[in-house]
Amino acid sequence: MTLSVRLAHRFQGFALDVAFEAPPGLTVLFGPSGSGKTTVVNAVAGLLRPRAGRVAVGDWLLDDSAARRHLPPHRRRLGYVFQEGRLFPHLSVRQNLLYGRWFAPRRAAGPDMARVVEMLGIGPLLARRPGALSGGERSRVAIGRALLAAPRLILADEPLAALDEARKTEILPYFERLRDEGGVPILYVSHALPEVARLATTVVTLQAGRVTAVGPPGRVLGDAPSLLSARIEAHEGDGLTRLSTPGGAVFAPRLAAPPGTPVRLRVAAGDVILSRDRPRDISALGILQARIAAIDPDDGPDAQVVLAIGPDRVTARIPRRALAGMGLEPGQPVHAILRTVTPA
């Protein structure tokens, strides 16, 4: 089912005028602070009645200003996943999940509880209260509660923003499963590029209340740099700093911080070369072990290849001709050669 959104609205000093389609899968609304992401989500949720517009999931019409139709939020059949989960503290995990199902229409063919519990790995948590869960576990329960409401659309507004890096890494695979197995379109707000590169099947970029691009992440984000997590290991005698990353060591021009400091490296898609064999005698400052996570063939001369380097995702732009010659496919191991290494 496809979500189609057309909205015009005005606050003092801010005008929203957007139209986009979110096909099945996970659609990320991506844009800087104040660009209108939350306003779009609030309008889709029914919390904001737009001056003009139309919002529909398939042929289920949520808003149509021309027909004066505006379904109230509780009749929209949406599942919400917020920051920190917003679970009921006085109810057990099981009761929180059942509360989600309580909202499902009686005859709705929603997922059953056992399947959701299994998918999210929350079986051992069912008897606990939210206060006794980690942030990542709370997020998983919140996803389960949203799913059990048998929604036609899931709205997730920066659901990982309150989590630290380790918890984000823990929860991302569950969003991937939700995207791949849930069968419900997901509208997901984020301004974290690594999250977008990893989760999105469609990206809608917003700027000052307008849509600037819609499409698959590789195409829309283009050469936007990926971020790679690293840690300073040592400052070497030749003026370079050695850093460790989940894919191996890299060298950068000397950094000011002491050994042990975590840093993020910026990797431009055009600065990555791929090789099946580990290259020797090469002047690059970083050769990393990676796995191919996805390939977006694009229709130009280049393809976008998403690399998994430990928990990080790094996009490489590779000539399609080279890709075909190398016979690369998702899942394969590969060496990523970085032309330059720059701290973010």
Contact positions toward ligand ATP, by CB under 6 A? 11, 14, 31, 33-39, 191
Question: For tokens 């609030």, what's the residue?
Answer: 42
**Closer Cβ to ligand ATP, 48 or 126, answer by number:** 48
CB of 198 to ligand ATP, least distance (A): 19
CB of 15 to ligand ATP, least distance (A): 9
CB of 38 to ligand ATP, least distance (A): 3
**Closer Cβ to ligand ATP, 45 or 228, answer by number:** 45
Question: Residue 294 contacts by C-beta under 8 Å, 6 or more apart in sequence?
Answer: 305, 306, 330
CB of 196 to ligand ATP, least distance (A): 13
Question: Across the beta sheet with 69-70, what order do the strands follow?
Answer: 69-70, 60-64, 52-57, 3-11, 14-22, 210-215, 202-207, 26-30, 186-190, 153-157, 78-81
**Closer Cβ to ligand ATP, 47 or 322, answer by number:** 47
CB of 3 to ligand ATP, least distance (A): 17
**Closer Cβ to ligand ATP, 161 or 240, answer by number:** 161
**Closer Cβ to ligand ATP, 191 or 210, answer by number:** 191
